[in-house]
Each structure stands twice: as C-alpha cells, then as structure tokens.
C-alpha cells in the first residue's frame, strides 16, 4: 500500500514501537552504518536482529530511534526495500539534516514544521553555491563535479572533489571552506567511502544551510524529545558523523568505519554494522 504526504509517495511499513514519553535517543547514520551496501546474508541476518532489538528498546526503555544521513528520503526507502528492512524509525533526518521526517503510527512520513521553517529562513541560496563553484573554477582552477546521480536536494548541493597532491588538496579544501564562509554557506567535507558507491580518491563536498547538518539535527531532536545528553547514543562510520558522535554521551564509530574517521575519533565498536550497534546497546541497556 502506498500513501502520499508532503507531495511525496511513501510505502507503508511497520513503525518501531514507542510511547509519548521518551527516555533515550538513539541516532544512526544510514549508509554503511545501519544499511550495509554489500548486503551479505550474514549482514542482513544481523540487521533484522537489530530491527527487532531496537523495536524492543522503543517499547521497554522508551527509546526513540532516528536515522541521520546524507541520503535523500527516496534513496533511503529504496535501500530499505533492497535490504528487506521492515521497520521505519521514529524519525529520519535526511540530506545531511536539511530535512527531518517524522513517522506516524500508521507508517506515514511527514516533515517537521519547526525544522522546515528554520531551514527555509536560513538564507541558503542555490545561486550562491553556483557562484562559489564558478569562482573556484575561474580564479583557483578548482573544479567540483556535481553528484548528479543522486540529484540535488532543495537545501543541499553535493559535489565530488578529486584528490591532487597532498599539499594541493589541503590548499584546495581550505579555499572551498573559506569561500563558503564568505558566502554565508555551510560546507561539509569528508573523504568518500567507495563501499557506499562513491569514487576512490575523492572527497564529498556538500553545501548546506547554516544551522543544518548531522550535529545540529541531533541537537534539535534531543531538544524536541526533551532527552538529556546522558541518555543519547549515536553510531556512524565516516568523517561526516564525527560531530554527531561528539554530541552524544555514547558515540561510537563501527569497526567498518573509514580510516579517516578512525583517525579522528577514538570510540570504536569491536564489530561492524548491525553487530556493532547491537554490542554497544546491549552493554548500555540491562
């Protein structure tokens, strides 16, 4: 059965159990954290075990579960179908937290008006991003390749930057950061993960509104549910997850995290993907 909401079509799925009261907040990156792109039988068995366990935490420990991801909502729903994921979380912060979707009890997703208003009033301009790209190309000979295979979201424009020499890359990335700052645009830069379908020897360059991002979405949802930081848990696998992990009391990279991420953050689960999430959660919850 398909339902329409907020101008989009969503497949009705089971929703993780919850109550109005919230005691814990569990945040997961999606690609290569919750969702393994390789999708082996062993990985999917553990993923489905994780779904059942998180559903139990929602009912027994009043936990709210959310995916905080760079993927779009439509990409997430397609990947859920591919992996046979049966449960929607309580919310999804998609497109690097530029959109937040809440899940109704009947499996219907709708945007969160408070966050939508904040993003709309952020001053983000796609024209400004185009000007940044033009200036990078014409003045600094820095060329960014649009990630057209993913499409461009209303408030996120994403590109690839291909690595040059170590010194040249470091210089170029600093120029990109400075220009984004000059134009009042936030830029998220992290090393690409080929396991998630990205090219080798490249960086993700994501231009988003000031006040958006994984860390900011995590803070907003913690306030929204009135959960103290002491009861916040987060999981990720790449450099763009680090700030979100730092915003939680219990923040963990999974064992399959990128070398870049592991060099930036010390807390690493002993297992990859769902197995790592299960291990950490079963240590925290009695």
Which residues carry out catalysis?
Answer: 29
Q: How far apart are CA 104 and CA 27, in angstroms?
A: 18
Please answer whether residues 190 and 242 qualify as being in contact, where contact means their C-beta atoms are separated by less than 8 angstroms: no
Q: Give the integer Cα–Cα distance in Å for 220 and 119.
A: 12
Bin 96: left if φ > 0, else alpha if -120 < ψ < 50, else beta. Answer: left
Beta carbons of 171 and 119 less than 8 angstroms apart: no
Separation between Cα atoms, residue 252 and residue 235, nearest integer Å: 5
Helix 113-120 to helix 214-225 angle, to the nearest 10 degrees? 140
């Amino acid at each position: 059965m398909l339902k329409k909401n907020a101008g989009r079509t969503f497949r009705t799925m089971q929703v993780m159990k919850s109550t109005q009261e919230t005691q814990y907040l569990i945040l997961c990156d999606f690609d290569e954290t919750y969702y393994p792109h390789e999708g082996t039988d062993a990985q999917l068995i553990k993923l489905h075990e994780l779904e059942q366990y998180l559903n139990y935490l929602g009912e027994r420990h009043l936990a709210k579960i959310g995916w905080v991801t760079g993927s779009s909502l439509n990409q997430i729903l397609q990947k859920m179908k591919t992996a046979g994921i049966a449960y929607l979380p309580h919310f999804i912060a998609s497109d690097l937290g530029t959109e937040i979707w809440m899940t109704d009890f009947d499996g219907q997703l709708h945007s969160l008006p408070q966050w939508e208003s904040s993003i709309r009033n952020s001053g983000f301009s796609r024209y400004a991003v185009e000007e940044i790209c033009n200036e990078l190309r014409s003045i600094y000979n820095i060329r960014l390749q649009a990630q057209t295979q993913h499409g461009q979201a209303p408030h996120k424009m994403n590109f690839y930057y291909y690595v040059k020499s170590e010194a040249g890359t470091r210089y170029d990335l600093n120029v990109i950061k400075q220009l984004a700052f000059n134009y009042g645009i936030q830029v998220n830069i992290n090393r690409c993960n080929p396991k998630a379908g990205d090219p080798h020897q490249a960086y993700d360059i994501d231009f988003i509104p000031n006040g958006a991002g994984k860390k900011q979405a995590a803070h907003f949802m913690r306030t929204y549910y009135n959960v103290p930081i002491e009861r916040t848990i987060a999981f990720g696998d790449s450099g763009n997850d680090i700030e979100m992990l730092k915003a939680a009391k219990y923040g963990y990279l999974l064992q399959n995290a990128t070398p870049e991420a592991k060099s930036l953050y010390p807390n690493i689960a002993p297992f990859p993907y769902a197995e790592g999430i299960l291990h950490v959660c079963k240590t925290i919850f009695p």
